[in-house]
Structure 1
Amino acid sequence: MRVALGVARVRASPSTNRRGAAMRSDGEIKRDVEYELKWDPDIDPSDIGVAVKDGAVTLTGFVRSFRQRTKAAEDATRVHGVKGIANDIEVRLPLVNKRPDPEIVREIIAELKAELPYAADDIKAVVRDGQVTLKGEVEWDYQRRRAADAALRVSGVTGLTNEIEIKPKIKPEDLKRKIEDAFKRNAEVDAQRVTVEAEGNKVILRGTVHSWAEREEAERVAWLAPGVMVVDNRITIDY
C-alpha cells in the first residue's frame, strides 16, 4: 500500500507475514512454550528451561524419565511460531528407579515380544548404564517406532538409540503415489502445498505449511509408507 509523505506521523504496525497475521516475538513464543509444558500433566516443568531465538526453541534442564524428555519437545512443537526444537534436556533418574542392566534387558525383551510378536525375534537390545541401543531389521517404520516405544516404557531406561534398519519389500515407484494419497486423506496436511519425490527408498518432501506441527505431521505420514528408509523433510513454514 502506498502512503503519501506528510507531516503527520503514525505508529508503526507490527510485522506481519504474507497472510496478514502478526509475526510472533521470541518472548511470546517462550511464554507459550512454558505454558504448554505446565499444561501437560505428564511433565514436571519446574526443572526445564526454555530459550527462544528467531523462533528456534532450546529446552534445557532435567526430567525424571526419557519419555518426559520426548513429551517436552512434542509440547513445544504445538506452539504457534516455533520453527525448530533443540532438546538438551537431561534424564536424571531418582535412585529408587535405577536398575541393573540385565533386569532392564530382560524386561525390554518381554515388552518387544508383547508389542511386536512377529518381529521381536529380529530385534536385539543392548543396554549399558541404562542407555539402550536397538539393532536388527524390520519391514515397516511403525515396527521400528513401536520397538522404541516399548523399550522406553521400561523403568530404568535413561536414553535410547534406535539402529533398527528397515528392509523394504515394496517397489520404489509405488512410494510417491502412496504418500500423496495419504496426504489427501489427512485433515492436518494441505496436500496441495506439499510435493513428494521418491529416490529409491528415500522420500523428499518439499513445499510450505502453516505450522511446525503440520510439517511434523507430513513427515510422520511419509514414514508410514511401507519400505521408507529415509525422509528428507525440506518443507518450510510460512507463518
Structure 2
Amino acid sequence: MAGPEHGSGPETPAGAIPDAHISEHVRERLDEDPHLEDGAIDIDVKDGEVTLSGLVDHPHDKQRAEECAGSVRGVVGVRNNLRARPHPVPPQSDLA
C-alpha cells in the first residue's frame, strides 16, 4: 500500500529553490528595509522570477524594492510593477 509521496507539490529542478521559499525570503528582505512600508508590496514568484506590485511612497523606493528582491538567493529575475503614490503639491506661498 503506497501512501502519498513526501513533497508532492510542483517539481523544481535539482538544486533549485522552491518559489514559496523565494517569496518568503523576498518578504523578509523587504520587511527589513526601514524605508519600505511593511506589507505594501505584493510578491509573486514563478520559476524564480519575482514580480513586485503595489504602491510605494517614493519613486526611489521602487528601485530599493527591486534591489532587495534581486539580492535573494534563487531569484533569476525581477519584474518591477510597483507604482509611486502621487503626492499632493503643496500650495504656493503667498510670499513673493
Q: TM-score range by the shorter chain?
A: 0.7 to 0.9
Matches within 5 A, 1:1-239: 16-17=14-15, 23-95=16-88, 98=89
| Partner of residue 94, structure 2 | none
1:54 partner letter: D
Once superposed, which parts of structure 1, at least 4 consecutive aligned residues long, lie more than 4 Å away? Answer: 11-15
Q: CA deviation at 1:42?
A: 1.4
Q: CA deviation at 1:71?
A: 0.2
Structure label with greater radius of gyration: 1
Q: CA RMSD in A?
A: 2.3
Q: CA deviation at 1:48?
A: 0.7
Q: Distance in 2 between matches of 1:99 and 1:53?
A: 41
Q: Distance in 2 between matches of 1:49 and 1:12?
A: 29
**Greater RCO between the two (CA within 8 Å, min separation 6)?**
2
Question: What is the total number of aligned residue pairs between the two structures?
Answer: 83
Q: Distance in 2 between matches of 1:43 and 1:35?
A: 12
Q: Distance in 2 between matches of 1:85 and 1:77?
A: 6
Q: Distance in 1 between matches of 2:90 and 2:49?
A: 36
Q: Distance in 2 between matches of 1:12 and 1:63?
A: 39
Task: Give 3-state SS (helix, strand or coil) of 1:33's partner.
Answer: helix
Task: Give 3-state SS (helix, strand or coil) of 2:39's partner.
Answer: helix
Task: Give 3-state SS (helix, strand or coil) of 2:78's partner.
Answer: strand
Higher helix share: 1
Deviations 1:89-125, CA, capped at 9 Å, x for gaps: 0111332xx369xxxxxxxxxxxxxxxxxxxxxxxxx
